[in-house]
Amino acid sequence: MQSTIKQGVGISGVGLHTGCQVSIRLIPAPADTGIVFRRTDLRNFEIPALRQHVSRVVLATTLMKRGVMLSTVEHLLSGLYGLGIDNLYVDIDSLEVPILDGSALPFVELVRQAGRRQLPEERTFLQVTQELEVRDGEKFIRVQPSDELRITYEIDFTHPAIGRQKIDLVITPESYSREISFARTFGFLAEVEQLRKSNLIRGGSLDNAVVLDDNGVMNGTLRSSDEFVRHKVLDLLGDIALCGYPVLGHIQAYKGGHALHTDLATRLARTSQARRLVRESEFAPCA
């Protein structure tokens, strides 16, 4: 069945790229609302979290509707998607979701604080029926039919602290909370100056990202030895959430990023012969 939260809860922090202070509040929403952002600084202007509103995918996923922008939505959307929250208003008083500690864990804890409320209406799933693939040179992301959401993700960096990492996981609220939610965003010290010249990561710090210099991690210990690939899965789930429905399929990615993730979400939404929308009561296993 569909779900929302029991009560409103809020949190504040700084935007990773804008450096601005921002507050958000999660508000219960009725069935079939989906996830809807409301810019409280702009008379509650609404931006649904759907792939048709994606405007940019450079270092973060940005939504835009009628010229109104909202950036860095992926960690919050990942947490909501991973926990199976279908309907929510997200009231926000600036143009970027706060980065907090660089993971989805603070958002997961916020939802736990609010409590989960089941709604009487059935969920609708996007069930993959044929393979789809998006490529960019050697990088690719594909999805194949499956009766569950399974993700196989591989990355390969020359940096000694990362190297080749791979994870294979069936996504449930329990596995997401345990295996994915804590993984922080990461970046390289060598790129910081150029990014700031481009008016990016103005709110970035050693408190909200894993930062790497030439030798290793600069700010403490990793939360897991493969935290980097786990964060890629976190980002992927936030971007796939933009399909508007929970996905049933096996997603396989190699060296992916926001551009490939959102391209796949668009392909899933537009390629009707490769998927079907199915209510819980009508669900049939893949042949």
Annotated catalytic residues are 258
Task: Determine the residue type at 88.
Answer: L
Which residues are within 8 A (CB) of 233 and not within 5 positions of it... i.e. 6 or more apart? 151, 153, 167, 169, 180, 183
Which residues are within 8 A (CB) of 70 and not within 5 positions of it... i.e. 6 or more apart? 37, 39, 47, 62, 63, 64, 92, 95, 96, 97
